[in-house]
Amino acid sequence: MTEQLLGPRVWGESCGRAVLKATPDDFRVTEVLDIALSGAGEHLWLLIEKRGLNTEEVARQLARAAGISLRNVSYAGLKDRQAVTRQWFSLQLPGRADPDFSALWNDQLRCLEQARHQRKLQRGAHSANGFFIRLTDLVADQSQLDERLQIIAAQGVPNYFGPQRFGRDGSNLHDARRWAGQGGYP
């Protein structure tokens, strides 16, 4: 991964160097969903674990396997391709049995849970993302690092909005600035 500076650092300058995301297993994201699924309804919800695939690729594969339009596949948020992620999808299947997705499952893609529900999954419906981040090739002063980790454990870290939040090559920055100037988003 190329080095990216995150801008102002809330806890001071870096106290070391490391490699982030040397492999997809070094960066794991799990959507936390606080919705009690009813077990009945026209929407099939799937908790999918994916490696090396982005959210839209998985949505297309699910739509194709279920024989439905891509617009009938929903997800709460976009997840990184260069990671192992667990995220929810819903498929609108009115009056249809659960599709057989077994041909899709492999080392890159598998289903961990599935249940029916009356409503589709809405964007942003998950309550949080849980992260596991492994840094490799660490070079740091151990005492400085221990001190910094204690601060982070006690007070947390800010939610940086890096380049992935604003589109490829910052193509969405104009919209972000306009929305911020209006006090929100459309």
Q: DSSP of the chain, one letter per residue?
A: ------SS-TT-S-SEEEEE-SSGGGEEEEEE------S-SSEEEEEEEEES--HHHHHHHHHHHHT--GGGEEESS---SSSEEEEEEEEE-TT-PPP--TTT-SSSEEEEEEEEESSPPPTT-SSEEEEEE-EEEEEE-HHHHHHHHHHHHHH-------GGGG-GGGTTHHHHHHHHHTTS--
**What domains does the chain contain, in order, with CATH numbers?**
1-155 (3.30.2350.20)
pLDDT(145) > 80: yes
Active-site positions? Answer: 80
- pTM of the predicted model as reported, rounded to 2 decimal places: 0.77
pLDDT digit string, tens, across residues 45-89: 999 999 999 999 999 999 999 999 999 999 999 998 999 999 999
